[in-house]
Chains A and B, each alone.
Chain A
Amino acid sequence: MSEYDAALAIFMQETEELLAQMEYGLLGLEDNPGDSESINSVFRAMHTIKGTSGLFGFDDVVAFTHEVESVLDKVRRGERRIDAALISILLNCKDHAADLIKHSLETESAALPDALKATGADLIMQLAGTPAVSAKMAAASQPVDHEGQAEQAASASNHDNSGDNWLISLKFRQDALRNGIDPLSFISFLKKKGDIVAIQTLAPELPVGNQMDPESCYLHFNIIFHSELDKQAIADVFEFAEDDCDIRIIAPHSKVEHYLDLLQEQAGDDDNHVEKLGEMLINIGALTPNEVAAALQQQKQAWSQGSATAKPLGEILVEQQFTEQPVVAQALKKQQAAREKTIAEANYIRVDSAKLGQLINLVGELVISGAAMRLMVDRYGLSDVEEVAVGMNDLVSEIRDTALKLRMVAIGDTFSRFRRVVRDVSNDLHKQIELVITGGETELDKTVVEKINDPLTHLVRNALDHGIEPPEQRQASGKPAQGTVHLNAYHDSGHIVVQVADDGAGLDADKILAKAIASGLVTADQQLTKQEIFNLIFEAGLSTKEQLSNLSGRGVGMDVVRRNIEALRGSVSLDSIEGRGTTVTIHLPLTLAIIDGFMVETENERYIIPLGMIEECVEMNSSEWEIDTIQHYINLRGEVLPYLRLGDYFHNRSRHQGNEHRESLVVVRFGQAKVGLVVDQLHGEHQTVIKPLGKVFEQLQGISGATVLGNGNVALILDVQSLIQHAVKRKGPYAGAVTPH
């Protein structure tokens, strides 16, 4: 792979992440429009994509993202309000950007197809079109209270460069120069603190002819200053000039009156200058031309009435300016915190996942040879080496855990992708659906995460499509109009459990059973629990709309879901209460590489049981537990527990030889089911590197893999799940009466 290709690959991955981030941010904004962190992350995503696309010369992407970015910039600076409509447009923009990037990557340098061009132009128009409308609406609906907003919106439609623009008015007094104040130096200093967007230098009182005293100061400045400093910090710049200068600092987004007030004050100087200042304010977008015209009008009126009436208003507004201060400070703090968080987030190294896989393989080998060394030490009784070996063993297991953790990712990202799905589908179907996510921090192996995405999407879509009823129907059945889909994840006995739950209509067990009988999956005289009936929908035969009209689609592809999950050594089950909702539960192994195992021996054959699944080990003692050897039950402290002799199962031993040696019972649990496995000998914990079995053995029941022991022997890893199924099934016809809980 050439360097360029490698860079492209990184670009692809990065943009994908950024777009996902953007979507996440946008959806967050939908719930909480004022969240500056989300706005920032959306903005950053567009900005970064624009930047990197520029590097690769993807001009179409740059052009489009630039438009989006500038709109986002306005939102970020608070000039444009973000509402549901804008979020929708932005979401479409995100999709379009993804399309553009895809296009650029696939057909480098080829011209943009017309369809993409049209979409892009359309989106840009939508982006540009809305602010005018919303501004009008804001102004119309709340003409008095929300002048600030109207002004912000108006400014947004006027000019790009406005934003946190402070208006600083400096009027140096005549003695300034004599007092050693050089106005220029203050302005140079101010320039270092931020960006001087515009500056107006005036000398309205400059005397004519020889009257001019070169040592007096006649200079006035109006400065539009862009900076994230707060008012105090800006005032500090002019601290030394305070005595020789009239300083007015007007905060960004001050009400129009503030600017007007300033205009009025300037009126004393010269009409011409007022108009100039007005022009400048229009230029930066603080005011609209109409407002300036109105101000000039007003000012003339004020003059004719005597300016006494105008003054108190000004004073009140100046007070308001001060009360606004803490708000700005708060906002700045928040911005700061967001920035720090970004820095923390950036503290990642991008690593090729193949390299990680290699590392994990090596660690696996290390675990095996560690075990081999351990064995040697034991065999030759090297007591002085013992200590070293134990220490190394601990280190190896730590390395193993750390290496595995490298591949662990929180499932939250996968979950949050569904927020978009839920949003879109609920809009399409005119349903009100809320997505609740819990346990997003639960970690599991990246390879598992990738593979679980499709089945999850399927389940969520099913819940949205067919689980949740339309609002009217929900209200009719006494439920809130808004439906809820709940995604949940948690760790349970070495597995991760993922649940997709909805509070919709639920499944009709009778109909499923009828259908299953009709399609020959079960016979009419079979006694099935509700649970078993529900799980029938995972069978391949029960899958099309026509077959189950009012559950339309519920069964579509459910068999595929089950197949996918079982391929990951997981399991899926479904529970439903009619009228109350449906819950689909997926059990998945945490990792596919190395596990903590528990080694047992039976018939001189060693087996590994995943340690996380083991509840306890007890002696198989007939005097203590009432053992039902016919139905294979024991009474474990009052609990009915089916058991399975591993020797019988794997060696096809028909008859147990009696209690000539001590046997042990290993109680394993998977989900709710518990089973006892009877073995000859316990060997204790063992770090197990899972080696897949060859193709020939894939169909073997009860074995999920193999591992190489320190002495070179092979131990089989038990598939506890299928063993439990086997043990429970074997309970026989009487089992229904005494179900273990």
Chain B
Amino acid sequence: MTINVIDKDGIFHIAIQGEMTIYTAVEQKNKLFECLKPDYELCIDLSAVSEIDSAGLQLLLWLKQEAPRLNLIHHSRAVVEVLELLNLASHFGDPIVLSSHWKTS
């Protein structure tokens, strides 16, 4: 699990790799908390998220609540499935691009 943060034009570009689960939640939360600064937008690249569970989802909900502005981009298949299942796509309000490489589920 790694989180890369690039600060660019007042936007944190964050790329989360690996799983977002109960096992990684504490570490990720601490890392992400550092990025929560007033006036800073968050742009999170989820393309490399291999697995996400309730704890990971909670983190995203929490970020949505905390960050002045949150953009989720490049949702991985695992993320999309969870957002669809819980009907949260509209809550986050980010456009989701479905990749053609995914087999229809």
Contacts and interface: CB of A to CB of B under 8 A. Distances in A.
Interface in A124-161: none
Contacts of B36: 209
Interface of B is mostly: helix
Interface stretch (A193-201, A354-362, A420-428, A631-639): A193-201
Contacts, number: 66
A210 B62 CA distance: 10
B33 A215 contact: no
Interface stretch (B9-17, B51-59, B68-76, B96-104): B51-59
A221 interface: yes
Contact of A212 (B54, B62, B87, B88): B62
Interface in A201-236: 201, 203, 206, 208-210, 212, 214-215, 217-219, 221
B53 A184 contact: yes
A182 interface: yes
Nearest to A200: B87
B42 to A, nearest CB: 15
B59 A214 contact: yes
A182 B22 contact: yes
A191 interface: yes
Contact of B58 (A185, A206, A210): A206
B87 A198 contact: yes
A184 B54 contact: yes
Given A203-B58, A206-B65, A212-B62, A177 B22 contact: yes
Interface in B17-57: 22, 25-26, 28-29, 33, 36, 53-55, 57
A74 B86 CA distance: 27
B87 A199 contact: yes
A184 B57 contact: yes
A208 B67 CA distance: 11
A208 B66 contact: yes
Contacts of B85: 184, 187-188, 191, 196, 199
B66 A209 contact: yes
B82 A184 contact: yes
A183 interface: yes
Contacts of A221: 86
Given A185-B53, A201-B87, A206-B61, 12 more contacts: A177-B54, A184-B86, A191-B85, A199-B85, A201-B86, A201-B88, A203-B58, A206-B58, A209-B66, A214-B28, A214-B29, A218-B61
The 8 closest A-B pairs by CB, nearest first: A214-B25, A214-B29, A201-B86, A199-B87, A183-B54, A184-B54, A203-B61, A212-B62
Interface of B: 22, 25-26, 28-29, 33, 36, 53-55, 57-59, 61-62, 65-66, 82, 85-88, 91
